[in-house]
Structure 1
Amino acid sequence: MKLVRYGAIGQEKPGLIDKSGQLRDLSAHVKDFTGDAFSPASLVKLAGLDPAKLPAVDGKPRIGSPVGGLPKFIAIGLNYTDHANEVGMPIPAEPIIFIKANNSLCGPNDAVEKPRGSTKLDWEVEIAIIIGTRAKYVSEADALNYVAGYAVCNDVSERFFQLERLGQWTKGKSHDTFGPLGPWLVTKDEIADVHKLPMWLDVNGKRCQTGSTATMIFGIPKIVSYVSEIMTLLPGDIITTGTPPGVGAGMKPPKFLNVGDVVTLGIEGLGEQRQEIIAA
């Protein structure tokens, strides 16, 4: 299934995309896509519905983040060897974990704000994991049983805030709109091999990132298992998993985003995003 949340900010409704690409309303069957709505039992119930009998949604409403509420927004850093090399950092021996504030979560096509004082606004196409079942000390062998599905994420980053203003990376990762997610959550049964998905990102129509989930240092089972040792994962929590090479900070000379720039990105089978950069 492709699960979506649509409507104005703060007024999103749950829906799904049927096989023809039609948006269908799920409001009669689930209140919102938060928390236990991502549980295996809930997803099985939704999968049993006949999409043709669900109300079709007219027009082209705004698409919000496919995850609502206030989930944990966890991120993995330097998880592609060639990306670590391009930014001059060592290959990590264990997954690097940082937190994106949940206020950074936004829709896939919402405008991205350039913060006041920003000088090094950057992009990162990533595949995000959405947790479906409470996970604590889970094994790698069982880890995928705790996953509801996957989505495209742009881990927007302000490198000056992240690396030059002291402290942890969270400073450069948490501004409002720094976490576009979607356009939809694709349930894991729809993805034949999550570690073989091409991914890309363009800035103003020019290709900057071309990669594949095949080149992750730590795969998704390892990430879920590892993070579950550090903190309990709850249904609806998001883990975004790192980016391939081609970020602005790794270019020679470096290139960063300015107001008016347009970023487009996507992952095969998971959809595409588009964001215009605006002033905060």
Structure 2
Amino acid sequence: MKRARVEYKGKVLDVIVNFEGELVTASGEVVPSQAVKWLCPVENPGTIFALGLNYADHASELAFEPPKEPLVFLKGGNTLTGHQQPSYRPDDIEFMHYECELVAVIGKSGKNIKREDALEYVAGYTICNDYAIRDYLENFYRPNLRVKSRDSLCPIGPWIVDTDDIADVSNLLLETRVNGELTQQGTTADMIFDIPFLIEYLSSFMTLSEGDLIATGTPKGLKDIQPGDVVSCSIEGIGTLENPVLSEKAFYGELTD
């Protein structure tokens, strides 16, 4: 089942996406997808965990050694925005790139979770595009706030796909397209630390809670993103997350209009 949150005629709705791609409310009303504003599919996101260098090919691309322990950092809720909603390229930077990532959505609280039980704590999966500003990336082990904590620079969605609907989360194709051109391709089979490992690792020293998000890193394939670009991140079995990129002036002007 695909579960989404949208705004329609001033109301926030929880909807199911059926096999025809229609958005259906709990009462059975079909909502026209072209008339909605897509929201973050998690109503109250908890802690947002993000992984650095979790694909060996991406680490090599950046001339880093693959990590021996997960490189985990935290992100603020201000970074999240929905499918088809705009992100922006900051002024006066040299290089900004996308990061297509599989996201595990935690469905119930747990501490000291064993690897073999880990997926029981996952409500479902979604996609995020965790944009990075390379100009300020001084240390991949501690990405600073200017790299990973800007407004709107982590689109997420369009929906959550239930765990039971993904046959093998460890072998899903990931692709990114910029203005329709394929620029990134990989598979979750190449993760250094898979989702069960990450859940066991994180829960060994902190409680994971319902609504927590674990963004699992990105494979190789970088391209500088400019205002006017449309970036589409696809993951097999889940769907496609798309967002346009504005200039900083256009983005904040749009928000204040």
Question: Tell me, what secondary structure is at the counterpart of 1:141?
Answer: helix
In structure 1, what residue type is equivalent to 2:7?
A: G
Pairing 1:261-272 to 2, within 5 Å after superposition: 261-272=229-240
* Partner SS for 2:116: coil
Aligned to 2:114: 139
Cα 1:136–1:9 change in 2 (3 A) is farther
TM-score by length of 2: 0.89
Amino acid at match of 1:15: V
Gaps of 5+ in 2: 249-257
The partner residue of 1:191 within 151, 156, 166 is: 166
- What is the root-mean-square deviation in Å for CA atoms of aligned residues? 2.1
2:28 is matched with: 54
Match of 2:3, SS state, is: strand
- Shift of the 108–114 alpha-carbon distance from structure 1 to 2, 3 Å rule, reads same
Give the C-alpha shift of residue 97 in structure 1.
0.1
SS state at 2:19 partner: coil
2:151 counterpart letter in structure 1: D
The answer as to 2:213 corresponding to 1:213 is no
CA contact (8 A) 1:162 1:173 kept: no
Give 2:153's match in structure 1, choosing from 152, 174, 178. Answer: 178
Q: Would the alpha carbon gap of residues 93 and 107 (structure 1) be closer, same or farther in structure 2, given more than 3 Å must change?
A: same
Matched, 1:129 2:104: yes
The CA distance in 2 between the partners of 1:245 and 1:58, in whole Å, is 36
Q: Counterpart of 2:31 in 1: which secondary structure?
A: coil
SS in structure 2 of the partner of residue 175 of structure 1:
coil
Q: Matched residue pairs, number?
A: 247
Q: Secondary structure at the match of 1:83?
A: helix
SS at 1:260's partner residue? coil
Which of 197, 201, 219 is the equivalent residue of 1:226? 201
Partner AA of 2:246 in structure 1: I
Q: Could you tell me how far apart the structure 2 residues matched to 1:11 and 1:135 are?
A: 33
Aligned-pair CA distance for 1:70: 4.2
1:5 maps to: 5
User: Partner amino acid for 2:170?
Assistant: H
Moved more, 167-176 or 82-91: 167-176
Query: Kindly, what percent of the aligned residue pairs are identical?
Result: 37
Q: Which has the higher strand share?
A: 2
Alpha-carbon offset, residue 262 of structure 1: 1.6
Contact 1:75 1:100 in 2 (8 A): yes
1:212 is displaced (CA, Å) by 0.7
